[in-house]
Structure 1
Amino acid sequence: MKPILDENQPIFRQIAEIIMNDIVEGNLKEGDQVPSENELSNFYNINRATVRKGLQSLVDQDFIYKKRGLGMFVKEGAYLKIIQMRQKQYRSDYILPLIEEGKRLGMDLETIIQLIKMEEENID
């Protein structure tokens, strides 16, 4: 199923996120060829220059590389780099604010952990 692009975020960033998600989820493995600019622009019905900007951001972050005349490929180590980057982001976006809000509400760390464990049991 084709992900729906969000009008509130730059499309080139969303294209980069989609490719990174494919790497993390194992749909694109190290050494695999990334869909071409034409394929992505046709699939999402967006400007090829926008796709190029998204792919270039992945090149700049060292997740993919260009082979002249052949296309773009997932770089060795990209999976681990993306996971590490996202774990840092997860910590700053979710974990630290969770702990800070818990403390504002008078909770200690053990109480916060217990609440998380209770919610995890509800998810399963």
Structure 2
Amino acid sequence: MDDGRPLFQQIAEQIEDSVIDGSLEEETRAPSTNELAAFHRINPATAANGINKLVTEGTLYKRRGVGMFVATGARERLLERRRTEFGEKFIAPLLAEAHRLGMDADDLKKMIEVWRDDA
């Protein structure tokens, strides 16, 4: 874990990834702050910041005395947010560059097909 972003953000994203891929299902217990801190060998306060970020966003919620759990609907909300971010980060610049190159949607579709076949 060290891609230049703060560790608490990386922790939050790792949990989000687990919710999205289904390895952490809705209404199941999420790893505790201490479990995350021990696993990643980080300060528990840093792990708590990642967890708190997810609580604020509505991805996790606390059951008093039991721990943190994945909220109902969290997966769909995360997918929607990530799709929007994907569009902003990748699709919008792709379309802008295609426009500069005089390409239309059919040209892009053909190009995607070629690159997909090569992958």
Percent identity reads 38
RMSD of the alignment, in Å? 0.9
The CA distance in 2 between the partners of 1:83 and 1:34, in whole Å, is 18
Cα deviation, residue 113, structure 1: 1.5
Alignment partners' CA distance in 1, 2:57 and 2:12:
10
SS of the residue 1:66 aligns to: strand
Instruction: Decide which of 5, 14, 33 is 1:9's aligned counterpart.
Output: 5
**1:71 pairs with 67, 88, 92, which one?**
67
Instruction: Report the residue type matching 1:95 in the other structure.
Output: I
For 1:4-39, what per-residue CA distance to the aligned partner results, in whole angstroms no more than 9, with x for missing partners? x12510100000000000001111000110011111
Residues 55, 117 of structure 1: CA spacing in aligned structure 2 closer, same or farther, 3 A cutoff? same
Stretches of structure 1 that go unaligned for 5 or more consecutive residues are none
Structure 1 equivalent of residue 20 of structure 2: 24
Offset at residue 108 of structure 1 (A):
1.8
1:84 equivalent in structure 2: 80
Structure 1 outlier segments of 4+, above 4 Å: none
Matched ranges for 1:1-124 at <5 A: 5-123=1-119
What is the TM-score when the length of structure 1 is the normalising length?
0.92
Could you tell me how far apart the structure 2 residues matched to 1:109 and 1:9 are?
Answer: 35
Residue 53 of structure 2 aligns with an amino acid whose one-letter code is S
> How many residues of Structure 1 are paired with residues of Structure 2 in the alignment?
119
Show CA shifts across 1:79-124 (max 9, x none).
000000000001111111101011112222211111011111222x
- Alignment partners' CA distance in 1, 2:39 and 2:81: 27
Q: What is the CA–CA distance in structure 1 between the aligned matches of 2:8 and 2:86, rounded to whole Å? A: 21
Per the normalisation by structure 2, the TM-score is: 0.96
